Amino acid sequence: MADNDIGTAGRTSGNGKGTTSAARNRSAARRSASGTSEAAMKKQIAELKREVSRLNRMLSDQAEETAHGWYQSAADRASNLYSGATGRASRAARQLRSQAHSVSETVQHNPGTFSTAVALGGMVGVLVGLALAKSSQPEPDWFHRWHR
């Protein structure tokens, strides 16, 4: 029991509030440890911010490259389509030119046949036009008045 009395007596001595220098040292150590851990956390947060900004830069660069690739691909496709259409138009123009030349030669060799064909075509066109006009319009009311 004597050891217990000495142990408790040594612990309660100090400033009168029941704290010893060891307790004060532990409290100061906790404060310095919390300051150290706070500094470490701030350091980690700063590193995370740098990492996030680096990732954002990488993503924007990658998006820019992707968009450029899409644009280049679309431009290439449009260029290919244009060159293909140009080739087809050129071939069609050559074909039309040769057919027009053929028709021109035929007309020069047979002028009577050509004029007859044009006249017949015109008459057929007029007859078709009259037939369509007659079938699409109802008879006027004044026409019925005179035939009753």
- pLDDT at residue 67, as a whole number: 86
Tokens of 114: 């050509």
Residue 79: Cβ-neighbour burial (10 angstroms; 0-12, 13-18, 19+): exposed
Whole-number pLDDT of residue 6: 47
Q: What is the pLDDT of residues 120-145, one digit of tens each?
A: 999 999 999 988 887 766 666 666 66
For the chain, give the mean pLDDT.
Answer: 79
In a domain, 39, yes or no: yes
Q: Is residue 124 included in any domain, yes or no?
A: no
Q: Does the structure show a pLDDT above 60 at 148?
A: no
What predicted TM-score, i.e. pTM, was given to this entire model?
0.35
3-state DSSP of 75-131:
HHHHHHHHHHHHHHHHHHHHHHHHHHHHHHHHHHHCHHHHHHHHHHHHHHHHHHHHH
pLDDT per residue as tens digits for the range 37-63: 888 888 999 999 999 999 999 988 888
Domain that holds residue 47: 8-110
Examine residue 135 and state whether it is found in any structural domain, yes or no.
Answer: no
The answer to whether position 14 is within a domain reads: yes
> Under a CB-based contact definition with an 8 Å cutoff, are residues 120 and 128 in contact?
no
- SS percent in the chain: helix, strand, coil, step 5: 90, 0, 10
pLDDT at 1 over 60: no
Distance of CA 66 to the CA centre of its chain: 11
Residue 138 lies in a domain: no
Map tokens 């820019």 to a residue.
64
pLDDT digits (tens, 9 = 90+) for 65-113: 888 888 888 888 888 888 888 889 999 999 999 999 998 888 888 888 8
- The total of structural domains in the chain comes to 1
